[in-house]
Chain A
Amino acid sequence: MFGRFRVKKLIRSNEFVIFLILLFLSLTIGAINPAFFTISTLFDTLRSSIVFLILAYGLLPIVIAGGIDISFVAIAATTSYATHMFLLKQGYDGGILLYYLIAGGAGILAGLLNAFLVTQFKLPIFDVSLAMFTMWYGFNLFFVGATANFSLPKGTVGFYNIFVFTAQDPNVGETGLHITVLLALGLGLIIWWFLKYTTLGRGVYAIGGNREVAVRSGFNVRLIFFVIFGIMGLFSAIAGVTQAFLSRYFNPVIFITQPLDVLAAIILGGAAITGGSGSIIGTTLGVLVIQVINRALILTGIPVEWQRFVVGVILILFTSIPALRNLRAKRMGHTSQLTQSD
């Protein structure tokens, strides 16, 4: 009895639906172009997902708490680029760790600034983030530098080629699973643990469900906001540095067009934009779906002129599937089960 209940619950979960979507997409693409079913495509897809996974993991708690933030991309750009320009000036020649430390520290501070403005002046999260989005990119361009920089310190050269596994592909040569996939995995586990097993993490869901109730139940809302914005800043900085070393250059306006892609992935993964629900597994699958869609367009030969249109249509179709299910479940009184899934 109990076992059957668990299977039923699994099949009903948002994550399972998104997993089916991913499977369906992959099979379709693979049927059109068998090149999709190669290890190298898998590695490539994961590689291009790494940074978006880190960004999405950092943003997820804020979305669950009912906030929409777009400043995380600007924080990623400013912390990574400014760290690089600073170390370059010092003649730094060492490894990548110092980049993570400095940028990460700066990222946490930037995140805390958001939290301070949000909690101190009771400003809407989105308003603050919109201001910070513009401010940090502007800061970067004006005070730090406006051109891409390609000179990497000696100690970091070759980082882009450290692989956990490698595979040979007849057409694109050697492809590897980059080591930073482990970094993304680790960060994902931390957020999973945080959301599921800490009081603060449960508080995030409570705030997103109903902030007033959360306050009355004794959750320290102010503290929770400082923690989740700190996480967001830290993860953004890590993502910015990682992207720079994967693509071998530092770009002052990196990610500027992409905050929506990350939000879309989180929402596709079953988080409600109004807060209260969302999960790490769903977010992970959401990011993968978007990456697979992006690759699909080239692999299946859909003309570029159609790409954006097609992406939009696919997003509407696929976001509406979980939403429809939620709606039906609500009518049948299953809401609590669905929104609490993690």
Chain B
Amino acid sequence: MKKSLFVLSVLLIIALVAACAPQQATNTQPPGGTEPTKAPPASEPTKVVEQEELVFATVVKSIAFNWFLRMETGVKDFGKDYGVKAFMEGPSQVDSAAQVAIIESLIAQGVDAICNVPYGVPENEPVQKKAIDSGIIVVGHEAATAKEGTLHYDVEAFDNCSYGEEMMKEMATRMGEEGKYIQFVGSLTNASHNEWMDCAKAYAEKNYPKLEFIAKYESKEDQEVAYNTMKDVLKTYPDVKGVLGAAAGDVVGAGRAIEEAKLQDQIAVVGTSIPSYAGELLKTGAVDLAMAWDPATAGYACNVVAYKVLKGEEITDGMDLGVPGYEKIKLVKGVNGVPVIYGAAWIKIDANNMDDYPF
């Protein structure tokens, strides 16, 4: 009895570990993981601006990811273009406590604005509020669920539904708007992935009556799973014509199976990915189009919003931030009260332009 209790508790622990693990995994796959949803309140446009150089800090989840190193180039470009001292900081490992400590020290230094990409949205709220209370402009990114009063604005590359619809349009065009298609999500519990795919499906039902949906498969954020699944799909549904992928590795795994079957010209493969993942397959055409958002422009746009708020400019629905993808922003009140700015800042990467996106 004792022994079986021990075994049972051991299994429970393993299950817990396994349940926690995939979160870690998503951190290594930039476009698969995080995509935000809603947002926050405007507070009063701010204080008098001194003549001396403005200081804008961008704080990210961790500086250890290529994703955020790419964002840093956007932050630096903003600094140059606007004549502002702009820099990026972040913990060496994703850790909300370390991130909060960095913001505390920025408050102490008296920076003019902070663009924060919080690892844990709720964990960062108190320190963001503290920064706002001490007169600093605070704009969030990937923090659309933040509570009212903890951010001036939140900036998102796009809203999930439009992104999914855009994917569908690209795939449908390549399929001649008819035929069977399948979808991949990293996991059935990933909110963003499922929102993209469900919106894509709904859009197809309305606009492409000749498209036939087969199934939504789970890749478990593992391109090997996507590869094996795609092989079996080809056997079970030999007439499949389209594939949509949500996690960065989905189209890579599916693309490999399609390439080995020499079907790259018969099947349209469109999905979230980046050149460092899908590069080879984009070249051979096994993956037709990779979609992503560029962290550099997101970092740039986040700082522009902070700049405008600091200068007392009003942010309005439909305005042009002067950043690619943010020419006609959508302004919405987020689920927890923070005003959220949505761009349409997806990028489309194929064999021709992949060298422009070295990440």
Q: What is A's interface to B at a CB cutoff of 8 Å?
A: 33, 35, 38, 40-41, 44, 48, 68, 70, 126, 130, 133-134, 137, 141-142, 146-148, 150, 169-175, 243, 246-249, 251-253, 256-257, 259-260, 263, 273-274, 294-295, 298-299, 301, 303-305, 307
**B13–A130 CB distance below 8 A:** yes
Residues of B within 8 A of A126 (CB): 10, 13
12 pairs from A and B in contact (CB 8 Å cutoff): A41-B235, A44-B228, A147-B28, A172-B231, A172-B234, A173-B260, A173-B263, A175-B260, A243-B224, A247-B223, A253-B28, A294-B228
**A174–B260 CB distance below 8 A:** yes
Contact of A150 among B17, B233, B280 (CB under 8 A): B280
Contact of B257 among A137, A172, A295 (CB under 8 A): A172
Residues of A within 8 A of B260 (CB): 172-175
Interface size on B (CB < 8 Å)? 51
Q: Is B64 an interface residue (CB 8 A)?
A: yes
**B93–A172 CB distance below 8 A:** no
For the complex, give the distance between the alpha carbons of A170 and B28 in Å.
Answer: 37
Residues of B within 8 A of A257 (CB): 18, 21-22, 25, 220, 222
**B238–A33 CB distance below 8 A:** no
Q: How far is the CB of B351 from chain A (nearest CB, A)?
A: 16
**A248–B235 CB distance below 8 A:** no
**B28–A146 CB distance below 8 A:** yes
Which of B24, B65, B66, B233 is the most central at the interface, judged by chain A CB atoms within 10 Å of its CB? B24
Q: How far is the CB of A86 from chain B (nearest CB, A)?
A: 18
Q: How far is the CB of A228 from chain B (nearest CB, A)?
A: 19
Q: Tell which of B72-80, B210-218, B302-310, B329-337 binds the partner.
A: B210-218
Tell me the residues in window 80-99 of chain B with beta carbons closer than 8 Å to chain A beta carbons. 92-93
Q: How far is the CB of A14 from chain B (nearest CB, A)?
A: 19
Q: How far is the CB of A328 from chain B (nearest CB, A)?
A: 19
18 other A-B residue contacts (CB within 8 Å) besides A171-B238, A298-B232, A299-B232: A33-B236, A44-B228, A44-B231, A44-B232, A137-B21, A141-B27, A146-B27, A172-B257, A172-B261, A173-B263, A247-B223, A247-B256, A257-B22, A263-B14, A298-B217, A298-B233, A304-B218, A307-B218
For the complex, give the distance between the alpha carbons of A263 and B66 in Å.
Answer: 34
Q: Is B227 an interface residue (CB 8 A)?
A: yes
Shortest Cβ distance from B220 into A: residue: A257
Q: How far is the CB of B83 from chain A (nearest CB, A)?
A: 33
**A260–B18 CB distance below 8 A:** yes
**Contact flags (1/0) for B233-269 with A, using CB distance below 8 Å?**
1111010000000000100010011001111000000
Q: Is B319 an interface residue (CB 8 A)?
A: no
Residues of B within 8 A of A274 (CB): 3, 7
Q: How far is the CB of B186 from chain A (nearest CB, A)?
A: 11
Q: How far is the CB of A284 from chain B (nearest CB, A)?
A: 19
Given contacts A33-B236, A35-B236, A173-B261, contact A253 B216 (CB under 8 A): no
Residues of B within 8 A of A142 (CB): 64, 92-93
Contact of A295 among B65, B92, B220, B228 (CB under 8 A): B228
For the complex, give the distance between the alpha carbons of A171 and B239 in Å.
Answer: 9
Given contacts A141-B24, A274-B7, A295-B228, contact A147 B65 (CB under 8 A): yes
For the complex, give the distance between the alpha carbons of A196 and B187 in Å.
Answer: 42
Residues of B within 8 A of A263 (CB): 14
Residues of A within 8 A of B279 (CB): 150
Given contacts A148-B28, A172-B260, contact A133 B235 (CB under 8 A): no
For the complex, give the distance between the alpha carbons of A158 and B15 in Å.
Answer: 37
Residues of A within 8 A of B22 (CB): 256-257
Q: How far is the CB of A211 from chain B (nearest CB, A)?
A: 13
Residues of B within 8 A of A70 (CB): 14, 17
Q: How far is the CB of B272 from chain A (nearest CB, A)?
A: 14
Q: How far is the CB of A156 from chain B (nearest CB, A)?
A: 14
Q: Is B277 an interface residue (CB 8 A)?
A: yes
Q: How far is the CB of A43 from chain B (nearest CB, A)?
A: 10
Q: Is B116 an interface residue (CB 8 A)?
A: no
Q: How far is the CB of A292 from chain B (nearest CB, A)?
A: 11
**Contact flags (1/0) for B9-43 with A, using CB distance below 8 Å?**
01001110110011011011100000000000000
Shortest Cβ distance from B3 into A: residue: A274
For the complex, give the distance between the alpha carbons of A38 and B257 in Å.
Answer: 17
Contact of B261 among A150, A171, A248, A295 (CB under 8 A): A171
**B227–A298 CB distance below 8 A:** no
**B276–A273 CB distance below 8 A:** no
Residues of B within 8 A of A304 (CB): 188, 215-218
Residues of B within 8 A of A68 (CB): 10, 14
Contact of B232 among A141, A253, A295 (CB under 8 A): A295
Q: Is B229 an interface residue (CB 8 A)?
A: yes
For the complex, give the distance between the alpha carbons of A41 and B236 in Å.
Answer: 11
Contact of A141 among B15, B28, B257 (CB under 8 A): B28
Residues of B within 8 A of A170 (CB): 238
**B17–A130 CB distance below 8 A:** yes
Q: How far is the CB of A314 from chain B (nearest CB, A)?
A: 17
Given contacts A33-B236, A172-B235, A305-B188, contact A256 B261 (CB under 8 A): no
Residues of A within 8 A of B228 (CB): 44, 48, 294-295
Residues of A within 8 A of B236 (CB): 33, 35, 298-299, 301
Top 6 closest pairs, chain A to chain B, by CB: A173-B261, A298-B232, A35-B235, A171-B238, A172-B261, A256-B21
For the complex, give the distance between the alpha carbons of A38 and B238 in Å.
Answer: 14
Q: How far is the CB of B231 from chain A (nearest CB, A)?
A: 5
Shortest Cβ distance from B227 into A: residue: A247
For the complex, give the distance between the alpha carbons of A150 and B223 in Å.
Answer: 12
Q: How far is the CB of A276 from chain B (nearest CB, A)?
A: 12
For the complex, give the distance between the alpha carbons of A252 and B21 in Å.
Answer: 13
**A38–B280 CB distance below 8 A:** no
Residues of B within 8 A of A41 (CB): 235
Given contacts A150-B280, A303-B215, A305-B188, contact A256 B232 (CB under 8 A): no
Tell me the residues in window 295-331 of chain B with beta carbons closer than 8 Å to chain A beta carbons. none
**A173–B262 CB distance below 8 A:** yes
Q: How far is the CB of B344 from chain A (nearest CB, A)?
A: 27
Shortest Cβ distance from B359 into A: residue: A147
Q: How far is the CB of B62 from chain A (nearest CB, A)?
A: 8
For the complex, give the distance between the alpha carbons of A172 and B249 in Å.
Answer: 20
**A260–B15 CB distance below 8 A:** yes
Which of A146, A148, A169 is the most central at the interface, judged by chain B CB atoms within 10 Å of its CB? A146
Residues of B within 8 A of A172 (CB): 231, 234-235, 257, 260-261
